Amino acid sequence: MRDLVLAARLDISESLRARWFILYALIFGGLVVVLFMFGVTESRIMGFTGLSRLLIAYIQMCMAILPVFVLITTVRSVAGDREAGVFEYLLSLPVPLFAWFWGKSIGRFMVVFLPVFGAMILAALWGLVRGLDVPWEAVGFYGLLLVSLAWCFLGIGMLVSSLARSVDVAQGTAFMVWLVLLLFLDLILLGVMTRGQMPPETIIAISLINPMQVFRTAAMLLFDPELMLLGPAAYVILDAFGRIGYMVFSIVYPLLLGTACAAAGYGVFRRGDLP
């Protein structure tokens, strides 16, 4: 446990020094500031105003930015250290590989999750100061969704990073993974459905295994309980899971997927040549 904490701390301080982290924190912090500045809290969409409106906009932007950012920065983790020649020395110290790999994963998770979550909490606190109603249920659920999404893509990133032998290959693969998941979002799936080339069950199954779609549907669920925006697929989802059931699924499934990917990455890392 002590070794795991040490490895996590090492990765956190390494990340905090990196330029990508400054950019990352600025983007998410800046997003909240921009949303406030442009008066999103005062505007109205589908009956939503105040912080609910801001949170909806913020969470949609997170879905667009967070996965690719987490993937691109995480894949540098193992592949980058290996390519730079860091492993030969640091892994000659008596650090267990389990502690090293999972410590890095946990450290990186903290670094990618906290700015995103922190920006959301700051928005809620600022709203409180300005006398707006804070939808704590939405803040809590979106917080959990962000944990789940960040961990899922971090796990995928760690797997890609362990498999790739160079940073270039790792980043290219990560980008492809993100692109494929993006292509299988509901907008494109609906197009496929309309053309009638695939059975609806397949389309729905794909939307349920795509963590980005799961996140998107769950984010909609809070302000659109009937999932009207999603169209006919909503009936299947709500019939099969129910509202609460799907909310639980949307948190648990990406967490499990991320853990499974990270575990597979650890298996590859442990069994192969380290430097």
Partner 1 sequence: MIRLERLTKAFRQRRVLGEVSLDIARGDRIALVGSNGAGKTTLIRCLLGEYTYDGIVEVDGLSPRMHRQDVLAKIGFVPQLPPPLKMPVGELINFAASMCNSVPERMEAVSARLGLEVEGIRRQPFVKLSGGQKQKLLIGIALGRDCNILVMDEPAANLDPEARQVFFGLLGERQKDVTMLLSSHRLDEVAALVNRVIELDRGAVVLDDHVADTVDMRSILSCTVRLTRREEAFEKALGEWGFSTTAEGGGLEWGGQVAGPDRLRFLGVLSRYAGLLAGINLEDNSKKAEAAQ
DSSP string for residues in 184-200 = TSHHHHHHHHHHT-S-H
Does position 6 interact with partner 1 (CB under 8 A)? The reply is: yes
Residue 45, classed as helix, strand or coil, is strand
Nearer to partner 1, 78 or 147 (CB): 78
Report residue 123: phi and psi, to 5°: -60, -45
| Interface with partner 1 (CB under 8 A), residue from 30, 96, 225, 231 | 96
Block residue for tokens 């600022």: 126
Tokens representing 214 are: 């799961």
Nearer to partner 1, 53 or 82 (CB): 82
Report residue 133: phi and psi, to 5°: -75, 125
Question: Taking the complex as a whole, how short is the minimal distance between the CB of residue 19 and partner 1, in angstroms?
Answer: 11
Nearer to partner 1, 10 or 25 (CB): 10
**Residues in 97-116 at the binding interface with partner 1, rule: CB under 8 A:** 97
Tokens representing 28 are: 């998410």
Amino acid, single-letter form, for residue 67: P
| Interface with partner 1 (CB under 8 A), residue from 231, 232, 245, 275 | 275
Nearer to partner 1, 200 or 272 (CB): 272
Report residue 94: phi and psi, to 5°: -75, 60
**Residues in 29-88 at the binding interface with partner 1, rule: CB under 8 A:** 84-88
Question: Taking the complex as a whole, how short is the minimal distance between the CB of residue 18 and partner 1, in angstroms?
Answer: 8
| Interface with partner 1 (CB under 8 A), residue from 137, 201, 239, 273 | 273
